[in-house]
Amino acid sequence: MSQIGERWPVDSSLVSRGGDPSRLRKALLAWWERCGRDFPWRKTRSAYHVLVAEALLHRTRANQVVGLYEKMLAAFPTVHALAAADPETVYKLLHSAGLRWRVGSLLNAAQEILQRFSGVVPSNRAELESIPGIGHYIAAAIRCFAYGENDAIIDSNVVRVYARVFNLRVTDSLRRNRDFHHLAQSLVDPKHPREYNLALLDLAAAICTPRAPKCEVCPIAIHCTYGRNKLGIQSAAIS
């Protein structure tokens, strides 16, 4: 099994080897158009709404977040409203889902955005990551889902998918590996980054699951080392 490292540059050893990532993108997007999940935060381009959704989604199943997301936006429809919120009110709203620990980071982020950016969630990566509670993942999600930027969205589920596609050894540091980030970034569809990232997340949730992945119905099995091995497929666009 391959291992990404400093001596194995991604651009020459993975992306270009075996050919054309556009085939993978096309297959994934075609599948997503038929099978993509429907959540309320996917219907907005509001950076504030995306911020709230991503904060609630962290280590929480999406289906559990829908009601809370809608309650949060009903109670605090703007950054200004959340920045001025009584912490105990927010605690009570999130308590039922065991998300009380998210309250501090959400309030701090809203207050910082209000004070430093006049209540407008910035699109600049460095500015986003300078806000308390916004790390690389949430910053990328805001940039991609709200502002349409061509950013790779990388969580443990995306790591699992790409590790299977490219036959990579999953380690604790892989998600933070610079070369892995270059690989993930190179695969994002430049014309449809939002849709591509959503499709990848949905594939990980519905088909490329941690246990017993459904390779027989996977739209990118032919492009995946794991899938081809499991199904006995020889040819591929990416290997």
Give pTM, 2 decimals.
0.88
Same domain, 95 and 174: no
Alpha helices in 133-174 (DSSP H): 136-141, 156-166
137 is annotated as an active-site residue: yes
What single-letter DSSP state applies at residue 18?
T
Q: Are residues 127 and 72 in the same domain?
A: yes
Domain shared by 134 and 177, yes or no: no
Q: What is the pLDDT of residues 51-74, one digit of tens each?
A: 999 999 987 889 889 999 999 999
CATH code of residue 137: 1.10.340.30
Please pick, among 91, 112, 137, 149, the residue that the annotation labels catalytic: 137
Q: Identify the H or E element spanning 217.
A: none
Taking alpha carbons only, the member of 233, 204, 226, 201 closest to residue 39 is: 201
Asked whether the beta carbons of 109 and 87 are under 8 A apart, the reply is no
**What is the four-CA torsion angle of 59, 88, 109, 115, rounded to 10 degrees?**
170
Domain's final residue, options 115, 146, 177 = 146
Do 142 and 57 lie in a common domain?
yes
Query: Could you tell me if 109 and 200 lie in one domain?
Result: no
Q: What is the C-alpha R_g of the chain?
A: 19
Residue-by-residue pLDDT tens, the chain, 239 positions: 544 433 333 333 444 444 578 999 999 999 999 999 999 999 999 999 999 999 999 878 898 899 999 999 999 999 999 999 999 999 888 877 777 667 888 999 999 999 999 999 999 999 999 999 899 999 999 999 999 999 999 999 999 999 999 999 888 788 888 889 999 999 999 999 999 999 999 999 999 999 999 999 999 999 999 999 999 987 554 54
Query: Among residues 48, 54, 196, 226, which one is catalytic?
Result: 54
128 falls within a domain: yes
* 1 lies in some domain: no
Residue finishing a domain among 112, 146, 180 = 146
- Domain assignment of residue 215, given as a range: 10-37+151-231
Total of domains in the chain: 2
Measured between its terminal Cα atoms, the distance across the chain in Å is: 13
Q: Classify residue 203: in a domain, yes or no.
A: yes
Here the CATH number for the domain that contains residue 24 is 1.10.1670.10
200 and 173 assigned to the same domain: yes
Whether residue 237 lies inside any domain: the answer is no
Q: Which of 146, 174, 189 is the last residue of a domain?
A: 146
Bridge partners (DSSP) listed for residue 2: 168
Q: Which of 112, 127, 129, 155 is catalytic?
A: 155
